[in-house]
Amino acid sequence: MGLLIGGVGGNLTDRIIRDPGVLRGHVIDWLMLPNWPVFNVADMCIIGAAIVIILQSLRGVTLRGERISDNTDESNA
């Protein structure tokens, strides 16, 4: 969640304080690799958060950090 909030906050800050005006500003993308779109650190954080969320959901871990068990209630068996 920290990566996601940090990335969104970074891009939102650019949108608020950059020209041409409040909430109309441009996000500054400054990392350029060959044969790859231009991006910034905030974009990396957002993508990293998405990857972690997907991996954790595949492992069966909730946002609270609890693991979802496939076992039914064994006390009723």
Residue 43 confidence class, pLDDT cut points 50, 70, 90: very high
Please count the helices (runs of H) and the strands (runs of E) in the chain: 2, 0
- The residues spanned by each domain of the chain are 2-63
The structure's pTM equals: 0.77
CA–CA gap between residue 13 and residue 18 (Å, rounded): 8
Q: What does the pLDDT look like over 14-27, one tens digit per residue?
A: 999 988 888 888 99
- The residue among 38, 52, 55, 63 whose CA lies nearest residue 3 is 52
Q: Which residues are catalytic?
A: 29, 43
